[in-house]
Amino acid sequence: MLVALTATAVLGAGVGAGVWALTRDHGADRAGAAPATGVTVPEVPTAAASDTGPTPAAPAAPPAPSASASASVSPSAAPGYRLAQDPVGYAITVPEGWRRHEKQGESAPVVTYDSPGDGRQLQIFALAEESPAASLDLAENAPGYGFARQPGYRALTRDADGDAFAELTYRYDDEDRGPRQVIDHRFRAADGTPYAIRSSGPETLDAALLREPLTTAVESFCPAGGQCA
């Protein structure tokens, strides 16, 4: 996937280009970062899965991604999903069977969950910019590595809610995997840290198949130490 966490060296800020390469959704590592590592992510226990005693109930999730600043982890996941405590430092709900990989960017770890069969992908990472909107604008338009410069790029929809979130849906032609569609959602988490969660897949997929895992991830996202309610 195609995102930048900070401005590139040509803009004077130094480190964005490295993260940009790591977040390409075809997985190319053009930044000399450490290889991706597969990690088994522990599931959040639920009452149905535990026979050793009651599991403390977690706060309920908010109704929509735009309320992600108060996101939480619910005590159970919807069918086809699982609750995970990610080693990077947050809880999140992801589709069952999706393989986790992690690469260390220059600013933050980039965590990727890959679908085993249909080319879909989720990516999660903290942002270095002061706001979701500033980060998304930089990622799209930065000279040299903004994803608006990809072959076949076309913005499809935009949405924003002040400092709470900014979102862009776009399509482009990937040199390895063909036409792709991306929903790039950047938001301020419960601890005040801005994050991005990006959902991508083949352009031919129904848009709902990209939206559903993104919405579920954003609604459930809870950073360690965050007051998620």
Locate the domains of the chain by residue range.
9-46+56-223
Tokens 């999903």 sit at which residue? Answer: 81
Rg, the chain, Cα only: 17
Token digits for 3? 């995102």
What is the per-residue pLDDT across 103-116, written as a single tens digit (0 to 9) for each?
A: 987 789 999 999 99
State which amino acid sits at residue 195.
Answer: Y
pLDDT number for residue 77: 78
What is the per-residue pLDDT across 60-78, written as a single tens digit (0 to 9) for each?
A: 433 344 433 333 344 467 8
Residues whose CB falls within 8 Å of the CB of residue 129, separated by 6 or more in sequence, listed in order: 5, 6, 135, 138, 194
Q: How far apart are CA 201 and CA 36, in angstroms?
A: 20
pLDDT number for residue 138: 96
pLDDT number for residue 107: 83
Going from the C-alpha of 25 to that of each of 44, 178, 181, 209, 225, the distances in angstroms are 27, 12, 10, 16, 29
Region of poorest pLDDT, from 16-20, 115-119, 132-136, 225-229: 16-20
What is the per-residue pLDDT across 158-207, written as a single tens digit (0 to 9) for each?
A: 999 999 999 999 999 999 999 999 999 999 999 999 999 999 999 999 99
pLDDT number for residue 105: 78
The confidence band for 23, taking pLDDT boundaries of 50, 70 and 90, is low
Query: CA 72, 78, 79: angle at the middle one, nearest 5?
Result: 160
Provide CATH code, domain 9-46+56-223.
Answer: 3.40.1000.10
Given a cut of 90, whether residue 8 has pLDDT beyond it is: no
Q: How far apart are CA 137 and CA 4, in angstroms?
A: 10
CB atoms closer than 10 angstroms to residue 183: 22
pLDDT number for residue 225: 76
| Contact indicator for 122, 199 with CB cutoff of 8 Å | yes
What is the per-residue pLDDT across 24-44, written as a single tens digit (0 to 9) for each?
A: 554 332 222 333 334 444 444
Tokens 């897949």 sit at which residue? Answer: 201
pLDDT number for residue 24: 52
| Contact indicator for 63, 216 with CB cutoff of 8 Å | no
